[in-house]
């Protein structure tokens, strides 16, 4: 929660730096804590004799376990709710995802409830507090480890620590619903384990593991399946000019500055760098190719409620990245990467947005006479968009 509150407003960074993601990551800590606390409460009731007393009641010891698991779950859900509330306030500057954000919260709630139920189930087998502690720590490590696996098994984890959710990057509703179902299935199985008789516990536990694995293999193998890009080109707002800029309606205040910066880049790049037909925020482009023309507005601009007319250095950085030629399959090659960096630096130097930390090659290009500079940059742009 402290990280969510302390995060710099308007920071558009992936993964752990995103406030909505941080709220989801709360589950990774609260879940195992609920797991351990429920198990310890169960062991405490046995050692104090309370479990023996509960066996004489109508609901029996299973009822005592249920009350204990519910009490711990309420505490865990309260912590998750507080984290989500703070995340909502922080995420306003970048645009909150739509109704599908509620599914992420429900996934967290189901994961916490399942963790508490699993803690009660563990207490049926574990007899010492140190065992409970070790298993709780192992569960944190396991959840974190699973999130970085390749393929569908990554989605067995109830969190997405590497995905940033903004107004244009929405949770995948179908996948999140699948994960809620998987989590609840594990939770129900855990409840059966501590309700069933002793002779059936191992059978139920084994069957639960098989069922959970069967559900897990149905999850998609696409590493980027956890988010979908908002697409609604009819409601976008666009500027005019040689290279129009399109933004979502909630970011229209940034359009004047973005339009001015785009016009300046279009002038200096004309004849040297092939420019996209239009530049826009993710999901606003009508003919979108991955990366080409996609603009990620700096958080300070997207958060503004008043029209911004003076382009910032951050805006020039975002636009320069958006107008670079489409990256070839070998974009990770050091030679291609260096060429693209040189072209990026050249654009920034020409618009006066950066003179510190640029490459020597870009500085040399800028110093050439116009009749020499244009063909040299044109050749660089062509070389930066194809593999050797």
Q: How confident is the model at residue 55 (pLDDT cuts 50, 70, 90)?
A: low
Model pLDDT, residue 356 = 66
Q: Residue 214: is its pLDDT beyond 80? A: no
Q: How confident is the model at residue 179 (pLDDT cuts 50, 70, 90)?
A: confident
Q: Residue 52: is its pLDDT beyond 60? A: no
Model pLDDT, residue 48 = 62
Q: What is the DSSP letter of 155?
A: G
- Is 75 in the same domain as 207? yes
Q: Residue 8: is its pLDDT beyond 60? A: no
- Is 246 in the same domain as 145? no
- Is 194 in the same domain as 244? no
Which residue range forms the structural domain that includes residue 247? 233-383
User: CA 340 to CA 1: how far, in whole Å?
Assistant: 39
State percent of the chain over pLDDT 90: 1
- With vertex at residue 115, the alpha carbon angle to CA 184 and CA 214, rounded to the nearest 5 degrees, is 45
Distance of CA 152 to the CA centre of its chain: 16
- Is 239 in the same domain as 221? no
Is the model more confident about 292 or about 142? 142
Mean pLDDT of the chain: 75
Q: How confident is the model at residue 242 (pLDDT cuts 50, 70, 90)?
A: confident
Is residue 388 in some structural domain? no
Q: Residue 5: is its pLDDT beyond 50? A: no
- Is 181 in the same domain as 283? no
Most confident of 6-10, 103-107, 297-301: 103-107
pTM over 0.85: no
- Is 77 in the same domain as 222? yes
- Is 214 in the same domain as 312? no
Q: What is the DSSP string of 124-193?
A: HH--SHHHHHHHHHHHHHHHHHHTT-SSGGGGGSS--TT----SSEEE-HHHHHHHHHHHHHHHHHHHHH
- Is 225 in the same domain as 308? no
Last residue of a domain, one of 178, 198, 229: 229
- Is 144 in the same domain as 290? no
- Is 315 in the same domain as 224? no
Q: What is the DSSP string of 259-311?
A: HHHHHHHHHHHTTTSPPPS-EESTT--SS-BTTBTB----HHHHT-SS---SP
User: CA 149 to CA 140: how far, in whole Å?
Assistant: 15
- Is 211 in the same domain as 320? no
Give the pLDDT confidence of 112-166 residue by residue, as tens digits: 888 888 887 777 766 677 777 777 777 777 776 777 666 666 777 777 766 777 6
Model pLDDT, residue 96 = 63
- Is 222 in the same domain as 240? no
Is residue 271 in some structural domain? yes
- For residue 146, give Cα distances in angstroms to 140, 149, 158, 254, 349: 10, 5, 10, 39, 44
Q: Residue 21: is its pLDDT beyond 70? A: yes
Last residue of a domain, one of 214, 229, 244: 229
Model pLDDT, residue 275 = 84
Model pLDDT, residue 289 = 47
Structural domain total, the chain: 2
SS3 70: helix
Contact by Cβ (8 Å): 272, 327: no
């Amino acid at each position: 929660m402290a990280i969510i509150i302390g995060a710099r407003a308007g920071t558009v960074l992936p993964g752990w730096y995103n406030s909505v993601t941080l709220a989801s990551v709360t589950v990774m800590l609260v879940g195992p804590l609920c797991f351990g606390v429920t198990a310890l409460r169960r062991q405490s009731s046995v050692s104090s004799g309370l479990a023996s007393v509960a066996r004489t009641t109508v609901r029996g010891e299973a009822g005592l376990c249920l009350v204990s698991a519910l009490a711990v779950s309420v505490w865990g859900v309260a912590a998750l709710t507080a984290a989500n509330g703070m995340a909502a306030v922080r995420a306003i500057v970048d645009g909150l995802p739509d109704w599908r954000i509620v599914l992420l919260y429900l996934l967290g709630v189901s994961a916490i409830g399942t963790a508490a139920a699993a803690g009660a189930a563990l207490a049926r087998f574990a007899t010492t507090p140190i065992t409970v502690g070790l298993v709780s720590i192992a569960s944190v490590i396991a959840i974190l480890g699973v999130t970085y696996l390749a393929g569908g098994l990554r989605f067995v984890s109830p969190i997405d620590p590497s995905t940033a959710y903004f107004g244009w990057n929405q949770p995948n509703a179908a996948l999140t619903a699948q994960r809620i179902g998987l989590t609840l299935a594990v939770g129900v199985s855990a409840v059966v384990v501590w309700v069933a008789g002793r002779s059936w516990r191992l059978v139920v536990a084994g069957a639960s593991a098989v069922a959970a694995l069967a559900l897990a293999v149905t999850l998609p193998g696409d590493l980027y399946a956890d988010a979908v890009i908002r697409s609604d080109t009819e409601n976008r707002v666009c500027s005019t000019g040689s290279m129009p800029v399109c933004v979502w309606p909630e970011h229209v205040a940034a359009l004047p500055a973005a339009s001015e910066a785009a016009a300046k880049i279009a002038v200096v790049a004309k004849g040297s760098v092939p420019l996209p037909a239009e530049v826009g925020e993710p999901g606003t482009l009508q003919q979108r190719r991955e990366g080409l023309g996609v603009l990620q507005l700096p958080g300070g601009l997207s958060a503004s409620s008043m029209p911004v007319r003076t382009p910032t250095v951050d805006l020039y950085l975002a636009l320069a990245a958006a107008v670079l030629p489409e990256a070839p399959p070998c974009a990770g090659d050091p030679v291609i990467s260096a060429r693209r960096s040189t072209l990026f630096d050249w654009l920034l130097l020409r618009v006066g947005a950066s003179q510190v930390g640029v490459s020597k090659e870009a500085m040399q290009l800028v110093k050439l006479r116009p009749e020499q500079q244009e063909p040299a940059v044109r050749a660089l742009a062509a070389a930066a968009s194809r593999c050797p």
